[in-house]
Structure 1
Amino acid sequence: MAILDPYGDRFGRLLVAVAVLAVLAGVATAGAYAADPSTATPAPVAYDDAVELGLSSETDELMAGSARIPRAQVFYSQLQYVVGYNGVESFAASLDDGRTERQFGYPLVVYVETFDGGNPGVTDDGLFEAERSTDWVPADEATYVAESAAHSPAGETVVPFAERTNAELFAAEHGGRLLDWEAVRDRSFDVDSAATARSMAPARWAAADRRIADAEASAGDRHRGNRSTSAGGDALIVVGEDAPTIDAAAAAAPPNATVVVPAGTYEETVDVNESVVIAGDGARIRGDGNGSVITVRAPNVTLSGLSIDGVGNRTRDPEAAEEDGTWDTNIQLGYGHGDAGIRAIDAPGLLVDDVAIETNASGVLLREGSDAVLRDLRVDGSDDWRDGFMGVTGMESRVTVVDSRFEGGRDGVYLHRADGSVIRNSTFVGNRYGTHLMYTGDALIADNAFRNAEFGGITVMTRPSGNAIVGNDVRGSGAGIQASGTRSYVGYNTLADNGLGFSTSARGSLYERNVAVDNEVGAHATTVVPSSRVVANDFVGNEVHAEAGPGALRVWAVGDRGNHWEGASVGLHEPGERAYRPTSPVDAALHREIAAAALRESPAVVLLDRLRGTVPGARSGSVVDPSPAPKPHAPERIAAATDPDSEPVHPDWRRELDHTMNAHDRNATDGTRSRLSNVRTRGLVDVGGRR
């Protein structure tokens, strides 16, 4: 039996002819965008009507006010959506990635936003700014200024002008050189990408180590103080000897003193208004069930060796919300004004070490820049998440959580505008969400174990950028990982026995080396217009390996490197030599139904698969892997994921990423090096170091 190559040229040309007729006959029902550039050139649309790619407009709060990201909008030949790119350079980079044309067709018309009459300039932080944009013009009619002082939060940007003289004026004032559209298309840009988040993951781990060491050193220096007299009291105060209560001792303690709390139960609440160490030894602080138990309003405070209960039940303060405030603001005000075992307000440098908290509200509440290190923290929340709140609530406070455990309650860790936070080596059991980030970017969530989360182990909402989610083990949960935003890295995670393994919700992101085993759905493609790379993942034992919502064809491979799909190598062909479509009814059944193999090889199914790849209306909501891997990428992790008695799986991703990025640096031919070399990378790289 002759095996037809589903991407062969000869049969492909015949099918394209058939596909054109099918499109003309079915466009009314398919709902696809169709425009003949020879008879009608589509006009620019309102940008809000475009599907956004590239940078997120909420990547950074720095973009508030007059700061802008020059944009482009593109009409593609096989896509019914107008695609808006935040960053002209992000569209230019997509032209040679080998995937965009396959998924969207070729660009029919490209418009760019120009700033001739908008008083363009540069903010004090180096961001491009303008009072307004002035017009959308065809990309090949504009003049661009590159290498100027103007940047975006992701790095270099180019600024388009309709008139060359205006571009010359901008360059004269802010530097740079003038380019036409062809030069922009051929140029490499120094911007952040998902590869940057990948390369920075080990560095973020190291940064967390430094924060922990600095906090330990600061606390140790104070704890080693002698009983030398200073203005305000002794450097060492023992509760029960030098002061009757912990609160009295904290009030009497001078800066940098240590309050020693002997074993016992202390029924009180404590206010800490100086930079002190409160060190317990089997001590329990029990509140009266109203309000927070410990409130910290000073920098560089250490709390250690304590157990806390008797926390009030207020989870938020609706009266703190503003009548005309945004949703974002009201969440911060409401969530940030509930009760907690430990509440920190404008208290940077907080160290919480070896502390256990029982609460139906928050365990630790941080707000107003209370950057904190939380180590060996145990928070036991409500049995039903509806009755409780967060293990850790962080509002505009960078949080480093290590070696901790969160059981029950609403969310284990909830962070809101807490950029740069690190959550690692911790355990989450029976929460609504294990870790829940809102408007929080440049974070690291690594080497954690999540069990039996009602809705999801790791959930990242709104539109942050640059998060790295690496080496986590999520099992028995509604979903493993659901991360939105842009330029995120999701790699080396083990996702087993969940309703959903992971979703590809983050745009311009990289999903690699994940193991999805025995989930109801291994992965779900959610973005309407795909812009992420999904490569070198293993899908085994899932009821459905992958699903896709409406949108363009998703190509899940990088060059000749694809994912491993159980069942993909079944059939009359060499393993790895036939494309696999996990969203196709026949392919999806290959690992469950032996009879599907014969159907998969039938001429009718092959023809239908080829039709899906060429006709926009027929390929909506589909995924294809043109290079499926015949063997698993991580067989040992698959074996551990199927063993109910195994310990959480945390691969040595730091060593592997260091090796990968070093190989990329050695093989770079365009002078681009990784962010580990303190220079931003361009584009995404394959796990093997290939572009």
Structure 2
Amino acid sequence: MSRNRIRSLMPHGSALRVALLAFALAVLPSTAVCAESSSNSGSSGKEIPLQQLIDEAPPGGTLKLAAGTYRGPAIVAKPLRIEGADGTQIVNESDQPAVELRADRSAIAGLAIRDTGAKTTAAVLLSGADSTLENLRIETVSSGIHLRDASRNTIRSTTVGWAGPDVKMTEKGNGIDLYASHDNVIAGNTVTGMHDAIYIENSNGIRVEQNEVNESRYGVHFMYVNDSSIRGNTGARNITGAMVMAVKSVEVTGNTFVKQSENVNSQGLLLFDASDSVFADNRLEGNRVGIYVEQAQKNVLERNRVTVNYVGLQLKESENNRFQGNDFQGNVIPAEATDSQNNDVKGNYWDSFQGVDLDGDGFSDMSYAINPFFQKMTKTTPPFQLFFQSPGMAFLEGMLTSSKRAWTTDRAPAMKPYAADAYRPPAGSETAGTLIVSLLLLGSAVTTIFVTGVRRK
């Protein structure tokens, strides 16, 4: 072939090379992302650093993680949404959060996070605003989620559980923990086996709704919280279902707390230093104390169903509260009240009280006074609890009524329970219950006498 012929072909070859180069530049970037996604599948068994992928993602975009294992810790310092497919897991053994969201308008969703590094912070730390944590599955040996100075965020459809060894509850962290974080929504989550399942402190405008909180110290714990709500949550086998302390303008409605009974300080619902708040339509069943109220004022407690607790209502040093339309059924002690004045108690149903309704309005013409004798006696001398419901104690309660005018009194008890499915004890349970209590008291008394005798020798 002549040299001129070869030269005549060169422009065409150059054009081909240019076309190939343009094609490569257009196609290779997307091919690299696909390759990276395929490498995320975990087939190689390697953990991929999550931070590297976050750094490469554009601000305001979405980082989609394929199934596989990714290594933390990672920090999100720009608006970004991270989504995980089924089988996506973040593992973190460091003393830093597995994922920390610092930027506003961020989100993580669909991730399983296993956080095994001991730390004072949480598996997920959120300090931004207008962000979302959803559909996460967190296993931790510290705390689950911390919000710090973070406002207008949402935590939903997330599970948090303890992944460490069997330790004391005080050695665990909280499931979902907010501090100085306002106007946040916590909805549809499940927290099990933590210190406090949901803990809120120094935060206002918080909505805690439709969560399940089990086997923790406090299921929901409000401390120095105003203008917030606890609605439609369920909790079981905690020390206390909901603890609301130093709160104002809080709504606690439609919750169910059962079987808080394994600790001497167990309650379904505990109010301490609460004011100007509403506690209504809650179900409190099988707890040591159904509702415990101390140093609380100007609250409304109505339409609560308090059944099969050891003590239905315990009222201490509280005034100017309204108790109306509550059902107290099947409780061993319906109510105890000391040093509580000027409370408006009316229209509650007490199954242990036999009222008289002469005018047929559905309310008793006789009042129901809550005798504080046993509560005061056992407070000063706790061993006297051995004589609970004994004939001698009942006789003393009936004799010492000189201060009856100061007792907390339901002015017009309801003649029938409000709940359509009224509690009915099983047949023969009263006799069996009395026998069991008597045997327990007898056993305790014999043990006390025996131990005392041994010590004296």
> Normalising by the residue count of structure 2, what TM-score does the alignment of the two structures yield?
0.72
Higher relative contact order (CA 8 A, sep 6+): 1
**What is the 5 A alignment of 1:113-132?**
none
Counterpart for residue 516 of structure 1: 306
Structure 2 counterpart SS, 1:636: coil
Structure 2 counterpart SS, 1:251: helix
1:33-66: CA deviation from partner (whole Å, max 9, x where unpaired): xxxxxxxxxxxxxxxxxxxxxxxxxxxxxxxxxx
Pair 1:349-2:159 in alignment: no
Distance 1:513 1:239, change over 3 A: farther
Deviation at 1:567, TM superposition (A): 2.1
Deviation at 1:430, TM superposition (A): 0.2
Counterpart for residue 251 of structure 2: 468
Distance 1:517 1:286, change over 3 A: same
Q: For residues 417 and 175 of structure 2, what CA distance do their matches in structure 1 show? A: 37
**What is the 5 A alignment of 1:12-31?**
none
Q: For residues 237 and 569 of structure 1, what CA distance do their matches in structure 2 show? A: 76
Counterpart for residue 301 of structure 1: 106
Q: For residues 327 and 293 of structure 2, what CA distance do their matches in structure 1 show? A: 15
**What is the 5 A alignment of 1:94-113?**
none
| Equivalent position amino acid for 1:524 in 2 | Q
1:4-47: CA deviation from partner (whole Å, max 9, x where unpaired): xxxxxxxxxxxxxxxxxxxxxxxxxxxxxxxxxxxxxxxxxxxx
Q: For residues 291 and 468 of structure 1, what CA distance do their matches in structure 2 show? A: 35
Counterpart for residue 263 of structure 2: none
| Equivalent position amino acid for 2:150 in 1 | G
Q: For residues 279 and 397 of structure 1, what CA distance do their matches in structure 2 show? A: 25
Counterpart for residue 188 of structure 2: 403
Counterpart for residue 241 of structure 2: 457
| Equivalent position amino acid for 1:246 in 2 | L
Deviation at 1:369, TM superposition (A): 2.5
Pair 1:482-2:270 in alignment: yes
Q: For residues 224 and 190 of structure 2, what CA distance do their matches in structure 1 show? A: 24
Deviation at 1:268, TM superposition (A): 2.5
Q: For structure 1, which segment, 349-358 or 497-506, has the greater mean C-alpha deviation from structure 2 after superposition?
A: 497-506
Deviation at 1:252, TM superposition (A): 1.9
| Equivalent position amino acid for 2:117 in 1 | G
> Normalising by the residue count of structure 1, what TM-score does the alignment of the two structures yield?
0.48
Distance 1:540 1:309, change over 3 A: same
- Given that 1:289 and 1:313 are in contact with CA atoms closer than 8 Å, whether structure 2 keeps it comes out as yes
Q: For residues 237 and 277 of structure 1, what CA distance do their matches in structure 2 show? A: 17
Deviation at 1:572, TM superposition (A): 10
Distance 1:554 1:608, change over 3 A: farther
- Given that 1:553 and 1:613 are in contact with CA atoms closer than 8 Å, whether structure 2 keeps it comes out as no
Counterpart for residue 329 of structure 2: 540
| Equivalent position amino acid for 1:579 in 2 | S
- Given that 1:408 and 1:430 are in contact with CA atoms closer than 8 Å, whether structure 2 keeps it comes out as yes
Deviation at 1:409, TM superposition (A): 1.1
Q: For residues 237 and 582 of structure 1, what CA distance do their matches in structure 2 show? A: 72
Counterpart for residue 287 of structure 2: 498
Structure 2 counterpart SS, 1:519: coil
Q: For residues 567 and 413 of structure 1, what CA distance do their matches in structure 2 show? A: 36
| Equivalent position amino acid for 2:123 in 1 | G
**How large is the Cα RMSD of the aligned pairs?**
3.3
- Given that 2:322 and 2:343 are in contact with CA atoms closer than 8 Å, whether structure 1 keeps it comes out as no
Pair 1:626-2:422 in alignment: no
| Equivalent position amino acid for 2:149 in 1 | E
Pair 1:240-2:33 in alignment: no
Distance 1:255 1:460, change over 3 A: same
Pair 1:275-2:64 in alignment: no
- Given that 2:327 and 2:350 are in contact with CA atoms closer than 8 Å, whether structure 1 keeps it comes out as yes
1:209-263: CA deviation from partner (whole Å, max 9, x where unpaired): xxxxxxxxxxxxxxxxxxxx9xxx99x9779349964211211222210001111
Q: For residues 146 and 371 of structure 2, what CA distance do their matches in structure 1 show? A: 43
Structure 2 counterpart SS, 1:501: strand
| Larger strand fraction of residues | 2
Q: For residues 487 and 419 of structure 1, what CA distance do their matches in structure 2 show? A: 15
- The one of 368, 371, 379 equivalent to 1:580 is 368
Q: For residues 638 and 363 of structure 1, what CA distance do their matches in structure 2 show? A: 38
Q: For residues 406 and 279 of structure 1, what CA distance do their matches in structure 2 show? A: 22
- Given that 2:357 and 2:415 are in contact with CA atoms closer than 8 Å, whether structure 1 keeps it comes out as no
- Given that 1:364 and 1:393 are in contact with CA atoms closer than 8 Å, whether structure 2 keeps it comes out as yes
Counterpart for residue 59 of structure 1: none
Counterpart for residue 38 of structure 1: none
| Equivalent position amino acid for 1:342 in 2 | V
Q: For residues 239 and 270 of structure 1, what CA distance do their matches in structure 2 show? A: 22
1:170-212: CA deviation from partner (whole Å, max 9, x where unpaired): xxxxxxxxxxxxxxxxxxxxxxxxxxxxxxxxxxxxxxxxxxx
- The one of 271, 286, 290 equivalent to 2:91 is 286
| Equivalent position amino acid for 1:364 in 2 | I
Q: For residues 109 and 227 of structure 2, what CA distance do their matches in structure 1 show? A: 28
| Equivalent position amino acid for 1:480 in 2 | G
Distance 1:237 1:467, change over 3 A: farther
Counterpart for residue 387 of structure 1: 171
Structure 1 counterpart SS, 2:275: coil
Q: For residues 637 and 389 of structure 1, what CA distance do their matches in structure 2 show? A: 39
Distance 1:612 1:340, change over 3 A: same
| Equivalent position amino acid for 2:72 in 1 | E
> Structure 1 segments of 4 or more deviating over 6 A?
236-239, 571-575
| Equivalent position amino acid for 2:341 in 1 | A
- Given that 2:90 and 2:113 are in contact with CA atoms closer than 8 Å, whether structure 1 keeps it comes out as yes
- Given that 2:320 and 2:344 are in contact with CA atoms closer than 8 Å, whether structure 1 keeps it comes out as no
Distance 1:551 1:514, change over 3 A: closer
Q: For residues 202 and 73 of structure 2, what CA distance do their matches in structure 1 show? A: 29
